[in-house]
């Protein structure tokens, strides 16, 4: 048996492609389990909160949004905890354990009877999310080799974005016709299939033998790590403020039927897939310019959607570019975190998904407050615009800090440790 290794592994191009596909299939399952609730929000509200839905559908939809926030908070808790505790574990075995946890917790989400229990199950189901993406990104980066890190990250994330073209719309349709519980059982089957694919196709890789919980958690002592996390947490609120309430936006604002929701989700998914792949290529050239460009695109897309969502062309163009901009940012922020975390690679790779899911929870929560207050389903789009503005300002501040340190040309501390000043990518 081949010994576990780190760094680029000697495998045939065909074997590498199959290994990357197996890792991306996990992203497909994660994208499905995370985003399908958004398309089925009214169904979840009607079934799990029948009394409240009968009295006020808007209030029930807003409360059902807690399921999305609970999942997001589970990612925030699970990603750094699992990544830091398990950084020394062999990566393939860790991935298999995470996939088993995904499968069992998603089955529980489908079968539990009450809103409170399903809420708890969604939190538990989210715990492996960030650690899976983080470890899978490290494996993919090793498989791709030097100079292609962001593309490796983007390939893993492509499973999530393709889920928004195929998985989420089709599973949403299934949930609308056969019930949301059937939809989650299908998602559990995807995770089970991924377990088999990873077991068969992904090569063995050792963890970091020198990693400890303390060394991994040292990343939190670096100022630029906090900047990168804040950029993801706040800036990504724009996407999730829209995505959480996309079903009522389509039906109440644009005036389309429930059958149009899966088609709009396809449009978002196409935008996310294109943005992710383009963002991965561009981030390997310049992380800084990529982040600036996609934040500006996000602002324009959100403003356009807010002003034209009542018209079908405005809705479709708006959600397409919101999805493209958000997914274009993801590999750039992931690479930025890996750059500024130095030797805390496992936790840094996972923390990106904690940050993005803080944005998920924040966008869903603030959007829900606006909807519950009676401001309508366009209000979350405006909230998302404000969050993205803050994200762009944080990005500017982070890179200005890099420029200041380069100009001084001395060793300066990012946090608790002094590091060598290097040119910004």
Domain boundaries, the chain: 13-413
- How far apart CA 364 and CA 351 sit, in angstroms, is 20
Tell how many helices (H) and how many strands (E) occur in the chain.
19, 2
Per-residue pLDDT at 29: 92
Burial label for 289, CB within 10 Å (0-12, 13-18, 19+), is middle
Residue 413: what pLDDT?
Answer: 40
Residue 8: per-residue pLDDT: 44
Per-state percent for the chain, helix, strand, coil, to nearest 5: 80, 0, 15
Distance of CA 417 to the CA centre of its chain: 29
CA-to-CA distance for 250 and 260, rounded, in angstroms?
A: 7
Residue identified by tokens 């760094």 is: 7
Report the distance separating Cα 139 and Cα 355, nearest Å: 21
Say how many Å lie between the first and final Cα of the chain, rounded.
39
pLDDT recorded at residue 425: 40
CB atoms within 10 A of CB 112: 17
What token pair was written down for 387?
């969050």
Residues facing residue 222 across a β-bridge: 415
Q: At what angle do helices 91-111 and 115-126 cross, to 10 degrees?
A: 170
Contact 392, 267 (CB under 8 A): no
3-class secondary structure, 110: helix
- The SS3 of residue 306 is helix
Q: Where are the beta strands (DSSP E) in 310-403?
A: none
CB 86 within 8 A of CB 94: yes
pLDDT of residue 110: 92
Cα separation, 212 vs 54, whole angstroms: 52
One digit per residue, the tens of pLDDT, for the chain of length 425 reads 444 444 444 677 788 888 888 999 998 999 888 878 877 888 888 888 888 888 888 788 878 888 887 887 888 788 778 877 776 788 888 899 999 999 999 999 999 989 999 999 999 999 998 888 888 887 887 787 666 666 777 777 788 778 878 888 889 889 888 889 999 999 999 999 999 999 998 887 766 666 566 666 676 777 888 888 888 888 878 888 888 888 888 988 998 887 888 888 888 888 988 898 888 888 888 888 999 999 999 999 999 999 998 999 999 999 999 999 988 888 888 788 877 876 666 676 677 777 777 787 788 788 888 888 888 889 999 999 999 999 999 999 988 887 776 665 544 444 333 333 333 44
Tokens read off for 251: 């039906």
Q: Decide if domain 13-413 falls under CATH 3.40.50.11780.
A: no
Say if CB 295 and CB 230 are below 8 A apart: no
Give the global pTM.
0.70
CA distance 240 to 260: 19
- Which residue's entry shows tokens 């002592």? 221
């Amino acid at each position: 048996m081949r010994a576990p290794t780190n760094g680029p592994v000697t495998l045939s191009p065909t074997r590498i492609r199959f290994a990357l596909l197996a890792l991306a299939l996990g992203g497909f399952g994660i994208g499905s389990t995370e985003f399908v609730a958004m398309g089925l929000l009214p169904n979840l509200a009607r079934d799990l909160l029948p009394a409240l839905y009968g009295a006020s559908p808007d209030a029930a939809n807003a409360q059902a949004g807690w399921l999305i926030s609970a999942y997001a908070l589970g990612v925030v808790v699970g990603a750094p905890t699992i990544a830091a505790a398990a950084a020394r574990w062999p990566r393939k075995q860790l991935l298999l354990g995470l996939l088993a946890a995904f499968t069992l917790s998603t089955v529980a989400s489908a079968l539990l009877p009450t809103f409170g229990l399903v809420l708890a199950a969604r939190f538990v189901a989210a715990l492996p999310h960030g650690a899976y993406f983080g470890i899978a990104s490290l494996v993919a980066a090793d498989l791709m080799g030097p100079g292609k890190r962001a593309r490796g990250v983007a390939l893993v994330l492509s499973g999530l974005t393709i889920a928004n073209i195929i998985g989420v719309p089709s599973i949403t349709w299934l949930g609308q016709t056969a019930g949301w519980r059937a939809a989650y059982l299908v998602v559990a089957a995807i995770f089970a299939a991924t377990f088999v694919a990873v077991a068969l196709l992904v090569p063995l890789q050792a963890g970091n033998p020198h990693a400890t919980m303390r060394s991994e958690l040292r990343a939190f002592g670096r100022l630029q790590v906090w900047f990168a996390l804040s950029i993801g947490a706040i800036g990504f609120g724009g996407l999730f403020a829209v995505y959480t309430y996309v079903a009522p936006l389509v039906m109440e604002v644009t005036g389309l039927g429930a059958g149009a929701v899966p088609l709009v989700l396809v449009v978002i998914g196409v935008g996310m897939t294109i943005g992710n792949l383009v963002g991965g290529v561009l981030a390997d050239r310049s992380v800084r310019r990529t982040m600036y460009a996609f934040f500006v695109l996000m602002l324009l897309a959100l403003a356009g959607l807010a002003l034209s969502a009542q018209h079908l062309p405005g809705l479709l163009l708006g959600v397409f570019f919101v999805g493209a901009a958000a997914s274009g940012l993801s590999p750039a922020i992931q690479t930025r975190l890996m750059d500024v975390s130095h030797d805390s690679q496992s936790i840094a790779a996972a923390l990106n998904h904690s940050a993005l899911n803080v944005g998920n929870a924040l966008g869903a929560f603030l959007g829900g407050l606006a909807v519950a207050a009676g401001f309508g389903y366009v209000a979350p789009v405006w909230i998302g615009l404000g969050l993205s503005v803050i994200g762009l300002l944080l990005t500017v501040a982070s890179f200005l800090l890099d420029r200041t340190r380069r100009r001084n040309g001395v060793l300066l501390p990012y946090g608790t440790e002094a590091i060598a000043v290097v040119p910004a990518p």
